[in-house]
Structure 1
Amino acid sequence: MGSQGDAKNGGEENMAAWLVAVNTLKIQPFELPSLGPHDVRVRMKAVGICGSDVHYLKTLRCAHFVVEEPMVIGHECAGIIEEIGSEVTHLVPGDRVALEPGISCWRCSYCKQGSYNLCPEMKFFATPPVHGSLANQVVHPADLCFKLPDDISLEEGAMCEPLSVGVHACRRANVGPETNVLIMGAGPIGLVALLAARAFGAPRVVIVDVDEFRLSVAKDLGASETVQVSTKAEVLKPAFSPTLMGLG
């Protein structure tokens, strides 16, 4: 992990939200690495709070990843380029960008095949022991910073990462104009999967959850139908043959 200590960038101290204990965040200095020739320094303007961040906050772990020392959280992010490395040509200071939070090795068989998301050496924002992006500024590879169109806000740019989950699910399920879709769970990822399924042309999207408010949001976002279920086990017989997405 990077160090805590004096952190001067662009003439000011760089601060970040450090997870230091269960349910305990502290705003402390965050020292950035030196800017490499293919890197950029980005001033963060919008950072989403993912379910993984909440898990780390409440339990100091998410699945088999365990926070063993203070860590900067956050990975859904967008910001403005402050400085570019000497070899960066496609970005300039002032550009608004969304950040891909995962840095792969670029050398393994998965990376060479284009499936860099499966890289076993992946360094992902806010996944121990890698620090995240809930900071004033971060340094990141320029190739993993994507310029936002003028009509996309920085807040929307930060949502590109969770939206990509819904897009990936639709691609894996071959969703199209002939596909009926059932989504199990109307949480944030379920809702972006709903939006993606609609964009992919799915004519009927049914979404299921235990929470009435979440289902009302799903209806507002274009769900064909919503189904509220109890927390008790029940056997449901669907009225159609759906493509199933478990995306709570």
Structure 2
Amino acid sequence: MSQTPKTNKASVLSPERTFSYEERAIPTLQSERDVIVRVVATGLCGSDVHYWQHGRIGRYEVTSPLILGHESSGIVVSHGSKAHVRTGDRVAIEPGIACNVCPPCRSGRYNLCKEMRFAATPPYDGTLCAYYRVPTECCYRLPSHVSLRDGALVEPLGVAVHGCRLAGDLQGKGVIVFGAGPVGLLCAAVARAFGAGSVVVVDIVQARVDVAGRYGATGTYLMEAGQSAEENAGALAEMHGFEDGADVVLDATGAAPCLNCGIHVLARGGTFVQVGLGRPSVEVPVGQICDKEAVFKGSFRYGPGDFELAVQLLDSRRVCVDGLVTHEFGFEGVEEAFKHVAGRGGIKSVIFGPEVDVQDAKKSH
């Protein structure tokens, strides 16, 4: 993987929302369960771009220099005696470290831990650097046929797995996914892998719905911006045979028009899972939710077993991520990559770590 960096070069976002490069201390093992990973590839997420553009997300504000990035894969370079991975292992990194003692953690919902130390969420640094330290339970060996570049997609795949698991038994069900970005397409792929009878992907961009069939979609719908939620829901239902509505709706956009349309097209007694976030507050047709006695669930990151299942889906090839990464950037092109994602270019953009051999990072092993 090219020459091993001798410094921990990092891309740092200032409180003034400008990028610079700094030499940070190379992390060292702090416990017998620690693992040091050389970061090879990091996918850019909407939250990263939001911190760059606005300096905050909700109560989390960039008040001091912050390393962004949390969708990463890499190679183990050192580990403690109680780690389950070994030097040279290719791994996906789960970027959140829970306290393991609070009520949510103890009840098996560590994603709801109030003390969660999540990468690239202030004040905790992320993974756009050469080396990163995580506990062994946050490392997942990649299947041999999955490249390190595509290994960065395990994190958003974990988000999709979590959302689909919240939807319940999908065997034979009719599913609609709003949003044909990375998470939406992965939700479609996971829903099909979980046995959904039909999966329709909805978006407002023709180029995005055009690729949905490669990721599990049995049908698509190009949402009309000039139509009401009821009109779009009616056209969607008629086009794809949802006479009684869809059993499950997964929204990966957070956009009010999608929420409204999704609730209108949902079957009576159906389940709506909010996977993506847009504005913190949106208007929804609560009367429809009550009238249908629908189940409305929020989905937050991923929890126990989600990353492991994501890797298993890749290993068995029940989910394929080929082609999701449409744009690649070297470590010196971090700001260019952020501008590209902000402009909604392609599907998924990946930044390679410092001194990474790009061709090697794109190979399976």
What TM-score, normalized to structure 2?
Answer: 0.62
Query: Structure 1 residues 197 and 11, CA, compared in 2 at 3 Å: closer, same or farther?
Result: closer
CA distance in 2, matches of 1:177, 1:161: 24
| Counterpart mapping for 1:187-202 below 5 A | 187-202=181-196
Do structure 1's residue 60 and structure 2's residue 60 form an aligned pair? no
| Counterpart mapping for 1:152-231 below 5 A | 152-231=146-225
The count of residues paired between Structure 1 and Structure 2 equals 238
Between Structure 1 and Structure 2, the one with more helix by share is 2
Aligned to 1:46: 41
What's the RMSD between the two structures over aligned residues? 1.8
Q: Read off the aligned partner of 1:43 and give its amino acid letter.
A: R
Name which structure has the greater RCO, CA cutoff 8 Å, separation 6+.
Answer: 2
Aligned to 1:244: 249
Q: Deviations over 1:22-71 (max 9, x none)?
A: 55221211224431122111100111101101111111122332111110
Q: Deviations over 1:205-240 (max 9, x none)?
A: 111111111111213333222111233351222241
- Cα pair 1:43 1:136 within 8 Å, conserved: yes
Q: Read off the aligned partner of 2:45 and give its amino acid letter.
A: C
Q: Read off the aligned partner of 1:68 and give its amino acid letter.
A: T
Q: Look up the SS of the partner of 2:14 in the other structure.
A: strand
Aligned to 1:115: 109
Aligned to 1:104: 98
Aligned to 2:70: 75
CA distance in 2, matches of 1:62, 1:138: 23
CA distance in 2, matches of 1:23, 1:210: 30
Query: Structure 1 residues 233 and 67, CA, compared in 2 at 3 Å: closer, same or farther?
Result: farther
Q: Look up the SS of the partner of 2:202 in the other structure.
A: strand
Instruction: Identify unmatched segments of 5+ residues in structure 1.
Output: 1-9
In the TM superposition, structure 1's runs of 4+ consecutive aligned residues that sit over 4 Å from their partners are: none
| Counterpart mapping for 1:87-98 below 5 A | 87-98=81-92
Q: Is the deviation greater in 155-164 or in 59-68?
A: 59-68
Query: Structure 1 residues 202 and 99, CA, compared in 2 at 3 Å: closer, same or farther?
Result: same
- Cα pair 1:18 1:27 within 8 Å, conserved: yes
Query: Structure 1 residues 11 and 158, CA, compared in 2 at 3 Å: closer, same or farther?
Result: closer
Query: Structure 1 residues 220 and 90, CA, compared in 2 at 3 Å: closer, same or farther?
Result: closer
- Cα pair 2:34 2:83 within 8 Å, conserved: no
Aligned to 1:7: none
- Cα pair 2:73 2:149 within 8 Å, conserved: yes
What TM-score, normalized to structure 1?
Answer: 0.90
Instruction: Identify unmatched segments of 5+ residues in structure 2.
Output: 254-365
Following superposition, the deviation at residue 12 of structure 1 comes to 1.5
Following superposition, the deviation at residue 20 of structure 1 comes to 1.6
Q: Deviations over 1:126-162 (max 9, x none)?
A: 0011000011111111221112222222122211110
- Cα pair 2:5 2:130 within 8 Å, conserved: no
